[in-house]
Structure 1
């Protein structure tokens, strides 16, 4: 292996593995350490931050032990933790093993920074490859699957370790700026530009708008084609701008402007803006990384290298500065990520956080030193110890092949992704089986993203309609899964999804029955940090109509969700207009409480009353009755059950509803 290529290959494969571990570690902090919001958000944030702060001790050891040795040990630890994660079975073992892998990945990045002048091309390729793989897997990552995952993990791990062993010695002239941008790039790529789940969600909102629904996402027509177009555009633009030679770049301000604009559209929370925000941010991020890593003229001895601040202690100081810059950038990642998602527990505006990170990246990119030779053949001024003369802008003869290959693979990955369209079934009877389930973003009590168990819990009831709460379609903190599309595909159902907290977190209705119309209404916040909505779907049951309303009430800090209950009951009654009505979901209130009574006062009936008490939370020792199904007069409930299982922290509620004849 050529030594000049080894940092790029090590960076690409290492980033691929590091992101894989992140997709386990971050949700484990929420589900296992945090116990699904039972632990204060501040404490969860401190736990996550701890591992990033611990990594800051590594550069101090580089001079005595050697950055190359420490980086190799960290690389082996990263590989080992990733390989062992599936065997933990979830729980604390998964949490702490993933945290060790996270720490190892951070130390490896710092060691790579101290030994390689730049790894931006490798970072770009690694992030793009991660998105292609994530897309091909339908966002259901290998780490949550069975033994077949090792067919890909083993060659990646071997290639990574082999490349890391051949990374060259210290390079005193490498700039620190691009290494600082590694952390912000991980955030913006994972949260926005490189998220196939976000692309799928954006495509589904467009499909909903074309179908005439108001802020309701539906399965896009044409299968996986809309997702394919968005992912291929994002990956292709990111590779083109991130790997392009300086002489092929447009004006320096264009990429920073594209990144900031794309992130601003995302931060605004407009569902229909997502298909525009994704490719804009991808092109801008790649261009900013390339601008920040543009080669410059060698600096005089003792200056600390191009792109860095002045220093007088020679190469080792430069290498340490690059390592610290890398770790400082990852601190930006964790603070911004935790800060963004903690807003849904603590209640403050959070859209400015990714936008601020984008502004930082854009500013550093546009302020990066101009290239030493912007046009081939122009001589460089004299540099001590180096003869002046014609110099060429470094070429990357492999970059065009990487762009073509990466974009092609993105197209294939998108086309392989199941759409979960679910054909509408003809229905001649008057009995409908319904399941209401708070799925906790797809994570079970053991902290694992257990899609098979979740599917079995629902499919075992043979439902015609499924009402879901806490549906996550792209949150980076939860691993970036499109839980809704994954479930819909496995249940062979179509879906209607409405946003609550933001465009990718909310409630859904899945069904194989024909859908006549759908809409959503926002519920009053009443001081609750997480938003709430009511999704109304009108189903065709033979020659009759059935109105289904899915909601997840959010109680304010000082009481029950009475005002939200009144609003959703009024909305449901107006939507039904005398037609049979079902209102279901996690209502965060128990029978007899004021919010529950407010629902009954609008003429609804407790469909589960005959089987009370029917506790549903927590799933392993249920004591609270907070998951409900309420119906209008004329709907007869039967075969009621709270389905045992730990695929979520709630139990699913299932029942059969008999519609009146005539």
Structure 2
């Protein structure tokens, strides 16, 4: 048996060729995760721009990808790489040093536009420079870029480097940017007469790449999603993701190395699997980790076939290729828009249609990429899957070596807190979970009810806040999604959670589903304490939904002793909603022990008291205070409680 050496598994020349697209994908995805939250939280929430206007700005930004042919014509093939990838690298470094949400927005807008121009320009450049090796280079670069991006995010506890003001983050960003510049510098310049574009039937299937990117962002590279749906710890979900990327690379390798499998029957089965399984990931439960591997393998196979459709360029220029790539990314944006905007504005399409549509697009592009005739020559270079496996092993080692702070075993203080954390975006519109952690740390509560908690929404920067905060503070955590599996309420506790559960609240004609979360824990009283955390309908002049939601909470409470009900109730103390709470026998901790009006919203200049800690009649509030902080758009409320 022939002995296999490392050189047989990793080809240095191939790795060098993959470096440019892989590193640019990492930087591009990082800037997308700055740009999209900046639109939602800075431009909309802080500045006050409407959702429809935001959509127009976002679509105009993505449409700049159509400029790739013009940039290539003006600067040449290699010059277009310098302009797009080099410009992206420079902007990424600039953004790392920014602490201004406004600057973040404009820098990320320009960076995303350059990233989209690069995608089209690179495909044309690679066809002209690499010939029939161009599809493998594109696919390998995209996959290793996704794998490296997930590795970097997972190593940071799912928080992007952009929001991590440490010297280590700066070093990594500088290294990534330097790698991009080096890769461009060693990139050969193809002949201007070399063919670089394809016909429409080969260019349009490239639109499927945008939907693949969306599925990756929302599901298959989403650590919080996999953890929450499958019920596994977030670090374990990270291991699933990195090995999922190895499966993605393996599927692509199979498609490139075994072109005889490019048959309609095989492709139809793959398309059917994607269309049926991707929209139903919430139903897989504990088997989701296995399905991630299966789906990633299938998507890798599909991606390689889509890329090979344009293996034989027939003309100079870049127009058709640019249209295919940019249409795909516009579809990425459109589907993301359709998923998140209905929480604010009713649209003809529902959120539940997003993943079926994305899966359908990938399936159509896969089937449209098949061609009749003799199979293409096999390309069996194992560099991409080997590198992906190496990154997966490295990710596993990081998990094993990363300590998990154990919750303190101190004596309870009886101090409780409620805090609407605004998805960890501060009043200025910048993502800063460290500021949230510092507010909680300074108050030093035994238990904290959190509202507006994201475990990985794209518009929230895809950070898993439950994992990040629990690890940062050394606390137990339990979470319950309300809007979808990864956005809702959470409870942090320094004491072990004896049991917990959750339930939905009436939607009552609103757009954003609500729910409540409960747990029992020992705070040193004569019996365990029942803690209920909730977040009610937010529109002030629409009391009807809250008047339907509160009776459900009161029915669950059922007059039990040793109970705390707290959260963002979105109602003033003298409104009918809060009168229901008092009539049921609950005691407002602020009315009992607070001083002054206790205003909590908005945090920079509050004029409403809408955040509460309610107690069962057998408990009393010894102290109550509102914490002056703009880490969120709400101020936190803290009370020290004891039995009467």
TM-score bin, normalised by smaller chain: 0.7 to 0.9
Asked whether 1:25 is paired with 2:25, we answer: no
Task: Tell me if the contact between 2:625 and 2:638 (Cα under 8 Å) persists in the aligned partners.
Answer: yes
Does the alignment pair 1:511 with 2:493? Answer: yes
Which among 600, 616, 619 is matched to residue 600 of structure 2?
616
Shift of 1:180: 2.6
CA distance in structure 1 between the aligned counterparts of 2:398 and 2:207, rounded to whole angstroms: 31
Is residue 263 of structure 2 the alignment partner of residue 264 of structure 1?
no
Structure 1 residue 486: Cα displacement: 0.5
2:174 to 154, 160, 163: 154
Asked whether the 8 Å contact 1:587–1:627 carries over to 2, the reply is yes
Residues 1:593 and 2:575 aligned together: yes
| 2:397 pairs with one of 385, 409, 412 | 412
- Report if aligned partners of 1:255, 1:283 keep a CA contact under 8 Å in 2: no
Whether the aligned pair in 1 keeps the contact of 2:517 and 2:533 (CA below 8 Å) is yes
> Shift of the alpha carbon at 1:554?
1.1
Distance in 2 (alpha carbons) for counterparts of 1:479 and 1:184: 18
Question: Mean alpha-carbon deviation: is it higher for 105-114 or for 330-339?
Answer: 105-114
* Alpha-carbon shift at residue 404 of structure 1 (Å): 2.6
Query: What SS does the aligned partner of 1:34 have?
Result: helix
Structure 2 SS opposite 1:579: coil
Match of 1:43 among 22, 33, 53: 53
Number of equivalent positions: 606
User: Which residue in the other structure is 1:132 paired with?
Assistant: 151
Given candidates 404, 407, 425, the residue that maps to 1:443 is 425
How high is the TM-score relative to the length of structure 1? 0.85
The match for 2:25 is 15
Asked if structure 2 preserves the Cα contact closer than 8 Å seen for 1:526 and 1:556, the reply is no
Q: Which residue of 2 aligns with 1:547?
A: 530
8 Å CA contact 2:14–2:383 kept in 1: the answer is no
Task: Measure the CA separation in 1 of the matches of 2:188 and 2:510.
Answer: 51
Unaligned runs of at least 5 residues, structure 2: 1-10, 128-134
Q: 1: distance between equivalents of 2:519 and 2:124? A: 57
Deviation at 1:558, TM superposition (A): 5.5
Alignment of 1:212-611 (within 5 A): 220=233, 224=235, 226-244=236-254, 245-247=256-258, 251-266=266-281, 274-275=288-289, 277-294=291-308, 298=312, 305=314, 314-316=315-317, 319-347=318-346, 349-370=350-371, 374=375, 392-416=377-401, 422=407, 425=409, 427=411, 431-542=413-524, 543-555=526-538, 559-560=542-543, 561-574=545-558, 577-609=559-591, 610-611=594-595
**Alignment partner, residue 81 of structure 1:** 91
Query: Which one has a larger percent helix, Structure 1 or Structure 2?
Result: 2
Matched, 1:650 2:630: no
Give deviations 1:383-438, integer Å, cap 9, x for gaps.
xxxxxxxx842231423422431321232244456656636x375x6x51111100
Secondary structure of the corresponding residue to residue 297 of structure 2: helix
Deviations 1:560-605 (A, max 9, x none): 243344334323422xx53211111111111111111122221111
Query: Secondary structure of 2:522's partner?
Result: strand
Check conservation: 1:635, 1:659, Cα contact below 8 A: yes
Kindly indicate whether the alpha-carbon contact (under 8 Å) linking 1:373 and 1:393 is maintained by their aligned counterparts in 2: no
Contact 1:261 1:281 in 2 (8 A): no
Name 2:5's counterpart in structure 1. Answer: none
Distance 2:14 2:480 in 1: 50
Q: Which residue of 2 is the match for residue 72 of structure 1?
A: 82
How far apart, in 1, do the equivalents of 2:326 and 2:46 lie? Answer: 29
Kept in 2, the 8 Å contact 1:227–1:414? The answer is: no
Partner Cα distance (2:189, 2:398) in 1: 34
Question: In the TM superposition, what is the alpha-carbon distance from 1:62 to its structure 2 partner?
Answer: 3.1
Residue-by-residue CA offset, 1:482-527 (whole Å, 9 max, x unaligned): 0111001111111111111000000011112232221212111112
Name 1:387's counterpart in structure 2. Answer: none
CA distance in 1, matches of 2:344, 2:463: 20
* Residues 217-242 of structure 1, C-alpha deviations (whole Å, 9 max, x = no match): xxx4xx83x32542243122112112
Q: How does 1:163-202 map to 2 (within 5 A)?
A: 163-165=183-185, 166=187, 168-169=189-190, 170-172=194-196, 175-177=202-204, 179-202=206-229
Q: Distance in 2 between matches of 1:39 and 1:571?
A: 40
- State the SS of the aligned residue for 2:519: strand
SS at match of 1:510: strand
Separation in structure 1 between the aligned mates of residue 539 and residue 627 of structure 2, nearest angstrom? 29
Query: What CA distance in whole angstroms lies between the structure 2 residues aligned with 1:568 and 1:421?
Result: 35
**How far is the alpha carbon of 1:72 from its aligned partner?**
1.3
Moved more, 110-119 or 17-26: 110-119
Residue aligned with 1:290, SS? helix
RMSD of aligned C-alpha atoms? 2.7
Secondary structure of 1:116's match?
helix
How big is the shift at 1:198? Answer: 1.9
Q: TM-score, normalised by structure 2?
A: 0.87
